[in-house]
Amino acid sequence: MAVETYPASGIDLSSGPSPEEGSEPTRRDFFIISAGAFAAVGAAATLWPFIDQMNPDASALALASIEVDISAMEPGQSITVVWRGKPVFIRYRTEEEIAAAKETPLSELKDPVARNDNLPADARATDENRAPAGREEFLVMVGICTHLGCVPLGEAGDYNGWFCPCHGSVYDTAGRIRHGPAPENMLIPVMDFAADGKLIVG
């Protein structure tokens, strides 16, 4: 290729790299990239002990369960407690609420799965599978709407269960989604009943 130059200055008017200036990476580029990668790994290894110390220790993990005194609760009463930073609804259901939940055909449910951590994952969403065995008057749920995580209002909605005012999800007296954008029934956490009128959640 001919190169044009000014006679006096010898300024190169050609554009682009010359054939000798190839675009292939050099050994220097490889060493620079390798050194950067080793530095990043070293920084992560140095910071990990500081990050890890923010995880809960064994004593905090032992508090993953809570005890709630439900001995004074009466039919129609609800209380809300906090477990693992989440609201948990405890509802002492009336006979009418239990009957309404039991009479609902599974074919009418939007989510046919129980969502009960005490049962197999594929358990059906019957009222018996949503309430504790032998204590069907109590309904214990993580009180978070399964749509976008809002907290539903109790004794509200078309089924006198729970209603989420954020986007209109409606749950029945067994905490099962019936209408609205929520895709799943509210979660039933792991629980147990103690002999002294205490409910253990978690």
Report DSSP letters for 99-153, one per residue: HHHHHS-GGG-S--B--BTTS-TT-B--HHHHSPTT-TTEEEEE---TTTS--PE
Radius of gyration for the chain, computed over Cα atoms and rounded to the nearest angstrom = 32
Secondary-structure percent of the chain, ordered helix, strand, coil, rounded to 5: 25, 25, 50
Q: Are 175 and 161 in contact (CB under 8 A)?
A: yes
Q: How far apart are CA 63 and CA 59, in angstroms?
A: 7
Please say if 179 is a catalytic residue.
Answer: no
- Among 167, 168, 183, 192, the active-site one is 167
Structure tokens at 100: 């309404």
At 61, phi and psi to the nearest 5? -65, -30
From the list 133, 125, 142, the residue with the least C-alpha distance to 89 is: 142
The dihedral formed by the CA atoms of 119, 63, 136 and 143, expressed in degrees to the nearest 10: -90
Which residues are annotated as catalytic? 167
